[in-house]
A and B are shown apart, each in its own frame.
Chain A
Amino acid sequence: MKDLLKVKGLLVLLFALLILLAACGSNEESGESSEPTDNNSEQTAADNEEETDSDTGEEENTDKAGEKLVIGFSQVGAESEWRTANTKSIQDAIKDAGHELKFSDAQQKQENQIKAIRSFITQKVDAIVFSPVVETGFETVLQEAKDAGIPVFLVDRAVDVEDDSLWVTFLGSDFIEEGRKAGNWLVEEMADEEGPVNIVELQGTVGSAPAIDRKEGFEEIIGQDEKFSIIKSQTGDFTRAKGKEVMEAFLKSDGENIDVLYAHNDDMAIGAIQAIEEYGLKPGEDITIIGVDAVRGAFEAMADGKMNVTIECNPLFGPQLVELIEQNFAGEELEKRIAVEESMYTMDQAEELLPTREY
């Protein structure tokens, strides 16, 4: 046991030494960084002058501009086609820009994600990109990243943390707006209906930002008209299998009363479409189906007339993200919230657009 303690002590010493050495390294770098490296070096130099009196952390950041960065990326998981496209877009954009990528898949578990971020910090990456699995509980690990001087970029999903200095910027879709778009489309589509219009909702993973916000935005719009009512709402965990199982139960308990299905993502909607078909109703006709994400599977379903509309949630923002990271290291101030460009697709457009969908 005593030996073990000794070994541990030695390890701690070794780590301390390493950290000291690393600190020296970055100081040296800052000394020679005025040398122009590529085309945005002018800007870098200008920034350097401006920020000479600011704290060392930022100075260190500035020096990295234009250099090869090591970027740690912690993704939620691979629960849907959307996520897959998002992962690929970010991975490709980072590699194409000549930076080094360290990727970690959290498989829908917060503890995996916290572990991944801690390991990024110990590996001393230059920047951390992550999509939080849930909104809360990341204060400690974000503080650790901040203390280590590593800028954190939130993508796709936000965190519910009061201190917004813990991350550089949040690049992602506005989920509340997506919910509102879905609500608006439904209100317009059902303008001539007498009502009541009974809606069932398939929520995303309990506690996740898209599930909370898409619900909120949607309810905000349909709440203005009394003919709309959400009769059942249950989580389908963003997966096809769960979406199908839950929809099956909804159909058994409410059956023909269901007029509209609002699914928080397309994969659940696709699962639900299978359930509706097996039940003997016509998806898209007997039950109006609204999905969010605009994945390829949704376009296939819409082209077959089985789904009515999907609200786009654009996952291909990898290039935009890399640009933001580079801007940060070039010393530019970034806004705390940057939205991704998105639109909405209906059944009529589906067939035409299907071949052009990348994901």
Chain B
Amino acid sequence: MKAIIKSRLFWPILVLMLILLINLFFDSSFFSMEIRNGRLTGSLIDILNRGAPLILISIGMTLVIATKGIDLSVGSVIAMSGAIGAMTVASADGTGLGPLLMAIGLSLLICTFVGGWNGLLVSRVGVQPIVATLILMVAGRGVAQLITGGQITTVYYDPYSFIGGGYLLALPFSIFIAAFVFLIAVLLTRKTALGLFIESVGSNPDASRLAGINSKNIMLMVYMFSGFCAGVGGLILSSNVMSADGNNAGLWFELDAILAVVIGGTSLMGGRFYLTGTVIGALIIQSLTTTIYSIGIPAETNLVVKALVVLIVCLLQSPEFRRKVFGFGKVKGAGEQKGKEGATLL
């Protein structure tokens, strides 16, 4: 029992469960799923489906943060990716897959490239990550607006809708994309030495370099990966509504992604990182949004409710806070007490 509670994932998972349970309280059919038109539907599926872009982007962000960096540009890269994707297929007709593949290829290539640009600024030029990515945060949205001419571009090319709105094996396709990228990231960082390299660069870049790790290339790589993830997320978001919106697509996503990483237990100081924690963090944020919509919280109090829950999660994450409030050593009782508190606050 103690081992479970001590696990980094315990608190985030507990909060996620709590949020879902609160839903059950308001709507008894919240956990039920049914097959409609050969598709599995239900609120849980919705959360996974809507959360997929955030999960993807947060995975990229986790690796960047693990190297003691930060990537503020992901929101803008989302807008760029959606704009490039939608504009590529805007003039396409019929059902041929050519334009779709071209849109995906072009978006991902450019997004990886601009991620690499961030990486170059950080690793080779030595610009601080927050400044380097801030440049692209501003410029990227500008580029997206330039591509779409500042207008919302609607896509009438059906295959494009598959990325964010398609179904595979009765499940939304975006879930598979997120799961695939997550698995790749986990395999690469946990089954090879890459994860260790990233953690060591985050802890101390100079020591890592002296130990024979190519710190610069590791940094370059994580920013490229973050750009790639944002590109995929952008395609999903744009394809889901079949339009490109340079102004609003991915707005504030960077903040949600950073939040997801922090909730997941990765420190902003770099070093150790927890990909599974990040995914749970992203799911917490998405469940919260869905909860707010489905239990009928008045529109003008949305953000306050969101902030309150995030505050509670962050406080629970802090061992210092837990020790002070719940007392040292009485961890088991504290869990129950906390449960009640969370419910009344909501």
Q: Which residues of A line the B interface, CB within 8 A?
A: 77-81, 84, 105, 107-108, 203, 206-207, 232-235, 237, 239-241, 244-246, 248-250, 252-253, 267, 271, 274, 278-280, 297
A278 and B165 contact, Cβ closer than 8 Å, known pairs A78-B152, A246-B293, A249-B290: yes
Cα-based distance from A105 to B289 in the complex (angstroms):
28
| B342 → A minimal CB distance (Å) | 21
* A79 lies within 8 A of B154 (CB): no
A245–B248 touching, CB < 8 Å: no
B256 on the A face (CB < 8 A): no
Residue pair A241, B299 in contact (C-beta under 8 Å): no
Is there contact, CB below 8 Å, between B293 and A108?
Answer: no
Interface centre among B42, B154, B246, B302 (most CB of A within 10 A): B154
Within 8 A of A (CB), among B266-322: 289-290, 292-300, 302
Beyond A239-B248, A245-B293, A249-B294, whether A78 also contacts B41 by CB under 8 A is no
B27 contacts chain A at the CB level, 8 A cutoff: yes
CA distance A234 to B27 in the complex (A): 17
A242 to B243, CA, bound (A): 13
Contact B152 A81, beta carbon cutoff 8 Å:
yes
Q: How large is the interface on B (under 10, 10 to 19, 20 to 34, 35 or more residues)?
A: 35 or more
**Chain A CB within 8 A of B241 CB:** yes
Our pick among B36, B42, B241, B295 for the contact of A271 (Cβ within 8 Å) is B241
Cβ contacts under 8 Å, A249 to chain B: 43, 46, 290, 293-294
The 8 closest A-B pairs by CB, nearest first: A249-B293, A235-B299, A280-B36, A253-B294, A249-B294, A240-B241, A252-B43, A241-B241
Instruction: Say yes or no: B151 contacts A234, CB within 8 Å.
Output: no
Are A253 and B27 in touch, CB under 8 angstroms? yes
Interface status of B37 (Cβ within 8 A of chain A): yes
Q: Which listed residue (A235, A279, A297) contacts B41, Cβ 8 A?
A: A279
- B247's partner among A107, A245, A274 (CB-CB below 8 A) is A107
Residues of B within 8 A of A246 (CB): 293
Cα of A314 to Cα of B62 in the assembled complex, Å? 47
A19 to chain B, nearest CB (A): 32
Do the beta carbons of B248 and A108 come within 8 Å of each other?
Answer: yes
Closest chain-B Cβ to A250's Cβ sits at a distance in Å of 7
The reply on B50 being an interface residue by CB < 8 A is yes
A255 CB → nearest B CB, Å: 8
Q: Which residues of B contact A232 (CB under 8 A)?
A: 296
Q: List 8 A-B contacts (CB under 8 A).
A: A78-B152, A233-B296, A241-B248, A244-B241, A252-B27, A252-B42, A252-B43, A253-B30
Closest chain A CB from B239 CB (angstroms): 11
Q: How far is the CA of A127 from the CA of B294 in the complex (A)?
A: 46
B245: chain A residues at CB < 8 Å are 78-79, 239-241
Query: 1/0 per residue B35-49: CB within 8 Å of A?
Result: 011010111001000
Residues 85-108 of chain B, each 1 if its beta carbon lies under 8 Å from chain A, else 0: 000000000000000000000000
Q: Is B203 interfacial (CB-CB < 8 Å)?
A: no
Alpha-carbon separation in the docked complex, A78 to B50 (Å)? 24
Residues of B within 8 A of A280 (CB): 36-37, 41
Residues of A within 8 A of B237 (CB): 241
Q: Which residues of chain B from 39 to 77 have a CB within 8 Å of any chain A CB?
A: 39, 41-43, 46, 50
Chain A residues within 8 Å of B27, by CB:
252-253
Asked if B150 CB lies within 8 Å of chain A CBs, one says yes
> B240 interface residue, CB < 8 Å from A?
yes
Q: A252 touching B248 by the CB < 8 A rule?
A: no
Please report the C-alpha to C-alpha distance between residue A81 and residue B151 in the assembled complex, in whole angstroms.
8
Nearest-neighbor residue (CB-CB) of A281 within chain B = B36
Taking a contact as CB atoms under 8 Å apart, the answer to whether B247 and A79 are in contact is yes
Chain B CB count within 10 A is highest, among A207, A244, A245, for: A245
Determine if A245 and B50 form an interchain contact, defined as CB atoms under 8 angstroms apart: yes
**Choice from A84, A206, A241 contacting B300 with Cβ under 8 Å:** A206
Residue of chain B at shortest CB distance from A80:
B152
Q: Which residue of B lies closest to A255 (CB)?
A: B29
A84→B151 CA distance, assembly (Å) = 6
B243 near A240 with CB under 8 A, answer yes
**A245–B152 Cα gap in the complex (Å)?**
18
B151 CB contact (under 8 Å) in A78, A108, A203, A267: A78
Per the bound structure, the CA–CA distance linking A7 and B269 in Å amounts to: 41
How distant is the Cα of A279 from the Cα of B46 in the complex, in angstroms?
11
> Nearest-CB distance from B305 to chain A (Å)?
12
Query: CA A237 – CA B299 in complex, angstroms?
Result: 10
Given known contacts A234-B299, A235-B302, A278-B165, is B294 in contact with A252 (CB within 8 Å)? yes
Distance of B252 from chain A, by nearest CB (Å): 12
Least CB separation from B172: chain A residue: A278
Q: How far is the CA of A207 from the CA of B293 in the complex (A)?
A: 18
Q: Which residues of B contact A245 (CB under 8 A)?
A: 50, 289, 293
A250 with B154, Cβ < 8 A, contacts A107-B247, A241-B241, A241-B245 known: no
If A245-B293, A249-B46 touch, does A274 touch B151 (CB 8 Å cutoff)? no
Given contact pairs A105-B247, A245-B50, enumerate 11 new A-B contacts (beta carbons under 8 Å).
Answer: A77-B247, A78-B152, A81-B152, A84-B151, A207-B300, A235-B299, A246-B293, A250-B293, A252-B42, A274-B165, A280-B37
